[in-house]
Chains A and B, each alone.
Chain A
């Protein structure tokens, strides 16, 4: 135990004395979350709006007025038919179209039940969602006012259709995503680099030729990074919640436990990488290409898995980050408990054991 403590202490010396890396490790989560956060939640202003309003009745003109008056939208064009709406999406910077029912439809649907269609350009999904949210709430406000006066059930039900990206991702996608990337980076990449650095400097030779068991070497290397990763998790969650209003609907304890599990999975991967490589450079390349890229691209963080071709969808199943993102999204956004995420959790646990077993098999007690 004393050996382990000495080892961990030494490891912390390394981490704290390498000021630059430490700054990156601790600063990166803050920078990433802030960047992603502001890129998404920045108020969108003066988005081009196209209106198709065949009837031009009191309701539709009032809603259009309110939309424009909100400052979020600029009236770009009043379209005469649906073709023109489509054209303006393709040939101009139109972000949102609002289509009111024509007089016939209105007449047909008695009781004043009206349907308004909102069309958004979802090539930029986050912008689209934001705009839809703005528009819907403006419409809802109007509805409330009218209803309030007349005491009748909702008159208007906006029907929203996303174009080009039907499985539009949640606006809060970025917090789970950034957290996943950072935990992966700190855990897998930093440990693989830290272990290969000992090989490169020749100190591994000395450690091997000492009574330290491989388990102590590996565990001692890894514990400081668990601490660091956990600290980063807290920072991200705090930033997400307090700065960007990210909800944590589910149990915080469960959430943190899942984070620790994912850290362990990543650490195991990092150790596996370090057992197969001898230089920091190679370890870093492998971590970046084999871990970071899939984590960013295939985990559903940026690109929705549902819209990927099936080989990539299949491939995404072996990416730990995919399961982790599902888990934390469920916990944070939907507030679900263990009973809903046990399957994914089990997959992560299985992966962790697999990587650890593979690392132990690969760990060399000799130099070659």
Chain B
């Protein structure tokens, strides 16, 4: 076994009883000490994959291991050596912050004090509220507490299922900063997220859609692989603009991206003639600029 690999997934498939296919022949390798993003929309199979890695559910076929422990055979080893944070806030709402943390510490046969240095940076932010019931915390603070609980036994690998869903932008940003610090301490982190923009926070990402992994690479590499020309266009009639662009022959795709429409073409398109075309269609105040794709452009390109 290669000892630089922390998580290995080999041809894992999973189908649920109601015949929904969650994972199809998924292969994945996460390197030791890496901050790895599993990026895809709801229902793509992220939660299923993470649960298989936690030994919470069994795959129909294929093999997976965490730190060389097989997720089926060595599930006890895995359970005492990973930190897991489920997608839903899963701590005891009627216990206080401190009680929750102490309970999980004891569960793993340790104490808060013994591992305080690892959680310190996170826990100090919620410590002023340590007597407060977990159910009464704000979304961001709940996440911090959940992360502290997942870290209390100094796990080598952290598996986080959509930790930033439902959390506001400020807390999301803080959360990613905490993850980076943990990564710097040598913990391997696999984190799933539906937010494409969070890809840039990871060293490598897997783009997952409908149970298949479409690509695995660093965010920069994924962007580099994008093989189309991209123009961001904005006019006074945005809704009409989408339709007008799609009518053009050269168009590969045209999708709204906030206040611009991203037009992807196989060949470089002549901006002057495009402007003329749009003016003919009745658009005014036309803005147009070639842009670098972002992860979302790439994700969509892989989907089409």
Contact = CB atoms under 8 A, between A and B. Distances in A.
A104 to B, nearest CB: 79
Nearest to A211: B80
B86 A210 contact: no
A4 to B, nearest CB: 10
Contacts of A14: 92, 94-95
Contact count band on A:
20 to 34
B108 A13 contact: no
Nearest to A206: B90
Interface in A350-368: 365-368
Interface string A1-39: 011011101100110011000000000000000000000
Interface stretch (A116-124, A197-205, A226-234, A304-312): A197-205
A202 B90 contact: yes
Nearest to A203: B90
Interface of A: 2-3, 5-7, 9-10, 13-14, 17-18, 201-203, 205-212, 365-368
27 contacts: A2-B106, A6-B102, A7-B107, A10-B92, A10-B99, A10-B103, A13-B95, A14-B94, A14-B95, A17-B94, A202-B88, A203-B90, A203-B92, A205-B56, A206-B86, A206-B90, A206-B91, A209-B55, A209-B56, A210-B80, A210-B104, A210-B107, A211-B76, A211-B79, A211-B80, A365-B75, A366-B55
Nearest to B58: A366
B54 interface: yes
Contacts of A203: 90-92
B93 interface: yes
Given A366-B58, A368-B57, A209 B79 contact: yes
Interface of B: 51, 54-58, 75-76, 79-80, 82, 84, 86, 88-95, 99, 102-104, 106-109, 149
A201 B100 CA distance: 14
- The A contact surface, by secondary structure, is helix
Contacts of A13: 92, 94-95, 99
A201 B93 contact: yes
Given A13-B99, A208-B79, A3 B107 contact: yes
A18 B94 contact: yes
A212 B107 contact: yes
Contact of B108 (A18, A201, A205, A211): A211
Contacts of A205: 56, 84, 86, 90
